[in-house]
Amino acid sequence: MKKRIAVLASGRGSNFQEVIEAIHHGKIPAVCVALITDNPKAYAVERAEKAGIPVKIIDYSLFPSREMYERALLLAMQQADADLFVLAGYMRILGTSIVHEFRGKIMNIHPALLPSFTGLHAQQQAINYGVKVSGCTVHFVDESLDCGPIILQRCVTVLEGDDEELLAERILKQEHECLPEAIRLFCEEKLVTDGRNVRMT
């Protein structure tokens, strides 16, 4: 039986597009039941509409407080009734109540080799630090920022003369492979979490 997945995205949605295509070509045994976004102008909305995926827009700017936004987001996620929620360029930190509700069912993609360089502008952080290797990480979401159990990582070499944009572009190519693969493993029930360790069976 195919898993139900929902994607949360705030921007272009290029990782979302890779997931859509992997599902379409039978590489992920799932159906995408929703795109949830905080940004009504996100290009991810257009991608979802082209693919016939229902869109739920919860415009952060319309809410008087973060708490009220979080309640609306939690309700939307409950209504999606997904087996897995995928954060694909979702630019807001999920509240504790959401993490508790869906523990072990939220996956995020981050453009660095965690636990290094959490938060925003991870690629620039890597360049500023002078590392020779960077990459991307897919991890389960917990209460800490970009600190949940690691599922998959991919590496890229940091080249002489790299700026944030150049490094981000090369990392993104790895993200496009890494995220669908992690989702596939989840949907095939091949991931087992033991504390901080995620094993593949």
**Is residue 110 flagged as an active site residue?**
yes
The total of other beta-carbon atoms located within 10 Å of residue 155's CB is 12
* Residue 77 phi, psi dihedral angles, 5° rounding: -70, -40
Catalytic residue, chosen from 100, 110, 139, 176, is 110
Write out the DSSP string of 128-143.
HHT-SEEEEEEEE--S
Residue 121 has what DSSP assignment? -
Instruction: List phi, psi (to 5°) of 166.
Output: -65, -45
Question: The tokens 């993200």 sit on which residue?
Answer: 175
Active site residues: 110
